[in-house]
């Protein structure tokens, strides 16, 4: 077999049936081989960054690794943002890059870039294949690393001569990586200690991150929470791990979390962090975070333990293993928490998440709330980055895991559209909905071609306030209202015309009534992508809000009602 054939045979062995790619000089042999392959579907993107976000959207929606194939040099460097995004959000992804022939590496050859050097700090690991006999085993290692332990992106750089060279195909029984032995099983003594702490706590709080979704541990989480009446708050990536419709759900915590979730963090006597990493957007000022709580922290990555917050009881291991262990080790007699839940209910009443509806103007919260209602919290919801992203976390009521696909760690504008397309390739039994701002939509708008070409039934909901709204919000609140380069009104295109030119169905809504109808019609249309532009109020702000670096007890609340804001 030649290198290209080995490449595809290795993908087959890994169960890959879908790759997102873009051809180029260093990959000519691979695309020659691909021409006659039918069991692996290749999706032609329009920019390599798009391929990486699609692969990540696919991975997050399905739990299977996303696969990217791009050429050397610019093809490779265009993947950098997408790889970093996957690294920050622990998404399994394998990126294959073509490379100039081995003999030219280091010569500043045409379309050469040291992509292995460039991506070292943003991949879980990466490889340069130097011998065709190592190609298959390297691919096997790449998939093993991407999907085991804490998932992440892995890059394999394949020089052109390796793809042309031949050798016998050999597939090792299993990937052998001496330096990679992730701890999956939690320490039993620690589990028992944690179980007793949980049983004794008066004011416990479960703080749930994306690790619970990766570990597919939602059922165990629900069992634990409901058994002991423990309220559950989730990070942005953890949303959906516990159903929003359940009375024990506190919604999101942190900078734009609910008032009551943050109050609960402040007042709890036991904080049980599962698959979460105490990110700065969650903790605010670290020295005032959960000041009264005994802190238990379960994470699969030991480096997350004691990184931002010193905890009392670290338990390294897979979150499913952790929750199962706790359920088993719980003593028969455990506290219920009626008083604690009542206290939380009071905070909920004090400061509910509400918004006003006016007949002739449209609020983003209303649009998201409507989509949440019409999809009954069961859609796969993809967001871009900014105000609409935070409103999505607040007003879409996620009822199932693997339902929110969003750029949390890196905060990549332009992520949403390709990620939604990728998710829609993986999930066909639920609607895939994208909420996007007008700024981010322009950053990868070329991928609309991909959606139209493959007739991907993704619902693109553009929340157009003609501002870089989140930056504008900070300018208003913290930067003396100097609206420096955030007003896009004079420069934005006519989105309807643009989208129609791509061959995509497009609608516009400017009032709540129009919005409701447009959402209905978009959800009913499944022949291809559909686009709705919502002209929303321009200067709305996301509240509640913890100012950056502030304590979460100092939430900005009084402007919760936007009418008093302007």
Q: Which residues are catalytic?
A: 48, 110-111, 160, 470
Compute the distance between CA of residue 9 and CA of residue 505 in angstroms, rounded to an integer: 39
Using the contact rule CB under 8 A, the part of the chain among 30-38, 57-65, 79-87, 302-310 near another protein is 302-310
User: Do residues 424 and 400 make contact, with C-beta atoms less than 8 angstroms apart?
Assistant: no
Which of residues 157 and 369 has its CB atom nearest to another protein in the complex?
Answer: 157
DSSP labels for 147-178?
HSSS--EEEEEEEHHHHH-B------SS---T
180 binds another protein (CB under 8 A): yes
Out of 301, 476, 487, 510, the residue judged to bind another protein by CB under 8 A: 301
- Residue 552 is given by DSSP the state G
Question: Number of residues in contact with another protein, rule: CB under 8 A?
Answer: 19
Out of 307, 453, 538, 559, the residue judged to bind another protein by CB under 8 A: 307
Q: What is the nearest approach in angstroms of another protein to the Cβ of residue 306?
A: 6
Q: What is the nearest approach in angstroms of another protein to the Cβ of residue 146?
A: 11
Q: What is the nearest approach in angstroms of another protein to the Cβ of residue 226?
A: 34
116 binds another protein (CB under 8 A): yes
Return all residues near 174 (Cβ < 8 A) that are at least 6 apart.
140, 144
Using the contact rule CB under 8 A, the part of the chain among 120-128, 362-370, 480-488, 489-497 near another protein is 120-128
User: Do residues 355 and 217 make contact, with C-beta atoms less than 8 angstroms apart?
Assistant: no
Which of residues 307 and 539 has its CB atom nearest to another protein in the complex?
Answer: 307
Residue 216, exposed/middle/buried by CB under 10 A (0-12, 13-18, 19+)?
A: middle
Compute the distance between CA of residue 426 and CA of residue 60 in angstroms, rounded to an integer: 9
287 binds another protein (CB under 8 A): no
Q: What is the nearest approach in angstroms of another protein to the Cβ of residue 176?
A: 12
H helix and E strand count, the chain: 23, 18
Helix (H, G, I), strand (E, B) or coil at 186: coil
User: Do residues 548 and 257 make contact, with C-beta atoms less than 8 angstroms apart?
Assistant: no
Using the contact rule CB under 8 A, the part of the chain among 43-51, 176-184, 363-371, 535-543 near another protein is 176-184
Q: What is the nearest approach in angstroms of another protein to the Cβ of residue 178?
A: 5
Which of residues 302 and 547 has its CB atom nearest to another protein in the complex?
Answer: 302
Using the contact rule CB under 8 A, the part of the chain among 172-180, 482-490, 504-512, 549-557 near another protein is 172-180
Return all residues near 417 (Cβ < 8 A) that are at least 6 apart.
50, 53, 384, 434, 436, 440, 441, 444, 445, 447, 448, 451, 460
Residue 335, exposed/middle/buried by CB under 10 A (0-12, 13-18, 19+)?
A: middle
Which of residues 314 and 440 has its CB atom nearest to another protein in the complex?
Answer: 314
Helix (H, G, I), strand (E, B) or coil at 420: helix
Using the contact rule CB under 8 A, the part of the chain among 16-24, 62-70, 119-127, 345-353 near another protein is 119-127
Q: What is the nearest approach in angstroms of another protein to the Cβ of residue 501?
A: 43
Angle between helix 48-62 and helix 80-88 axes, rounded to 10 deg = 20
Out of 15, 35, 121, 354, the residue judged to bind another protein by CB under 8 A: 121
388 binds another protein (CB under 8 A): no
Return all residues near 245 (Cβ < 8 A) that are at least 6 apart.
377, 397, 399
Out of 179, 287, 332, 564, the residue judged to bind another protein by CB under 8 A: 179
277 binds another protein (CB under 8 A): no
| DSSP H stretches of helix in 201-351 | 210-214, 218-228, 259-267, 280-283, 319-329, 338-350
Binding mask 123-142 for another protein (x = CB under 8 A): -xx--x--------------
User: Do residues 452 and 528 make contact, with C-beta atoms less than 8 angstroms apart?
Assistant: yes
Which of residues 265 and 316 has its CB atom nearest to another protein in the complex?
Answer: 316
Which of residues 117 and 247 has its CB atom nearest to another protein in the complex?
Answer: 117
Q: What is the nearest approach in angstroms of another protein to the Cβ of residue 115?
A: 12
Out of 41, 185, 310, 455, the residue judged to bind another protein by CB under 8 A: 310
Out of 74, 106, 117, 352, the residue judged to bind another protein by CB under 8 A: 117
Compute the distance between CA of residue 82 and CA of residue 421 in angstroms, rounded to an integer: 14
Q: Pairing relation of β-strands 93-99 and 66-70?
A: parallel
Out of 306, 358, 494, 500, the residue judged to bind another protein by CB under 8 A: 306
Angle between helix 512-524 and helix 364-374 axes, rounded to 10 deg = 40
Residues in 47-106 that interact with another protein by CB under 8 A: none
177 binds another protein (CB under 8 A): yes
Helix (H) or strand (E) holding 424: helix 416-426
Q: What is the nearest approach in angstroms of another protein to the Cβ of residue 310?
A: 7
Q: What is the nearest approach in angstroms of another protein to the Cβ of residue 179?
A: 5
Binding mask 139-168 for another protein (x = CB under 8 A): ------x-----------------------
Residue among 22, 59, 19 at smallest CA distance from 39: 19
- Residue 529 is given by DSSP the state -
303 binds another protein (CB under 8 A): yes
- Residue 213's φ and ψ, nearest 5 degrees, are -75, -45
Q: What is the nearest approach in angstroms of another protein to the Cβ of residue 345?
A: 38
Binding site for another protein (CB under 8 A): 116-117, 120-121, 124-125, 128, 145, 177-180, 301-303, 305-307, 310
């Amino acid at each position: 077999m030649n290198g290209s054939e080995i490449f595809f045979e290795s993908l087959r062995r890994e169960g890959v049936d879908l790759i997102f790619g873009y051809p180029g000089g260093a990959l000519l042999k691979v695309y020659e081989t691909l021409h006659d392959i039918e069991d692996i579907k290749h999706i032609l993107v329009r920019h390599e960054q798009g391929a990486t976000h699609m692969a990540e959207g696919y991975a997050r929606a399905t739990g299977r690794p996303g696969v990217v194939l791009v050429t050397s040099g610019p093809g490779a460097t265009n993947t950098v943002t997408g790889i970093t995004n996957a690294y920050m959000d622990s998404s399994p992804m394998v990126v294959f890059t073509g490379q100039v022939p081995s003999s030219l590496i280091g010569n500043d050859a045409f379309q050469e870039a040291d992509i292995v050097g460039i991506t070292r700090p943003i991949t879980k690991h990466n490889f340069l294949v130097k011998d065709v006999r190592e190609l298959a085993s390297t691919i096997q290692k790449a998939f093993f690393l991407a999907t085991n332990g804490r998932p992440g992106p892995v890059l394999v750089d394949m020089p052109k001569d390796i793809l042309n060279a031949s050798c016998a195909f050999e597939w090792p029984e299993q990937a052998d990586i001496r330096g990679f032995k992730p701890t999956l099983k939690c320490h039993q003594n620690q589990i028992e200690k944690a179980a007793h702490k949980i049983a004794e706590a008066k004011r416990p709080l479960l703080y749930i991150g994306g690790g619970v979704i990766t570990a597919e541990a939602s059922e165990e989480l629900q069992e634990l929470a409901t058994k002991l009446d423990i309220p559950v708050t989730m990070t942005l990536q953890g949303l959906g791990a516990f159903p929003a419709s359940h009375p024990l759900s506190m919604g999101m915590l942190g900078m734009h979390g609910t008032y009551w979730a943050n109050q609960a963090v402040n007042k709890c006597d036991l904080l049980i962090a599962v698959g979460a990493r105490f990110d700065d957007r969650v903790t605010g000022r670290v020295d005032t975070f959960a000041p009264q709580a005994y802190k238990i922290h379960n994470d699969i990555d030991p480096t997350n333990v004691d990184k931002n917050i010193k905890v009392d009881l670290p338990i390294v291991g897979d979150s499913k293993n952790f929750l199962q262990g706790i359920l088993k080790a719980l003593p028969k007699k455990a506290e219920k928490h009626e008083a604690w839940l009542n206290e939380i209910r009071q905070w909920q009443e004090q400061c509910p998440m509400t918004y006003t509806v006016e007949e002739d103007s449209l609020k983003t919260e209303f649009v998201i709330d409507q989509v949440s209602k019409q999809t009954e919290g069961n859609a796969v919801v993809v967001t871009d980055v900014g105000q609409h992203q935070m409103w999505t976390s607040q007003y879409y009521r996620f009822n199932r895991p693997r339902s929110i696909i969003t750029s949390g760690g890196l905060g990549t504008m332009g992520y949403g559209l390709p990620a939604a397309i990728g998710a829609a390739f993986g999930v066909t039994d639920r609607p895939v909905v994208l909420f996007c701002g007008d700024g981010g939509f322009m950053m990868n708008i070329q991928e609309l071609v991909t959606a139209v070409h493959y007739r991907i039934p993704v619902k693109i909901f553009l929340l157009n306030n003609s501002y870089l709204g989140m930056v504008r919000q900070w300018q208003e609140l913290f930067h003396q209202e100097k609206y420096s380069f955030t007003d896009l009104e004079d420069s934005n295109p006519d989105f309807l015309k643009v989208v129609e030119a791509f061959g995509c169905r497009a609608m516009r809504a400017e009032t709540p009534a129009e919005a409701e109808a447009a959402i209905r019609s978009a959800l009913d249309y499944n022949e291809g992508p559909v686009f709705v532009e919502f002209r929303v109020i321009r200067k709305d702000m996301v509240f509640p809000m913890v100012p950056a670096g502030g304590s979460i007890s100092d939430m900005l609340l009084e402007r919760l009602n936007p009418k008093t804001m302007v």
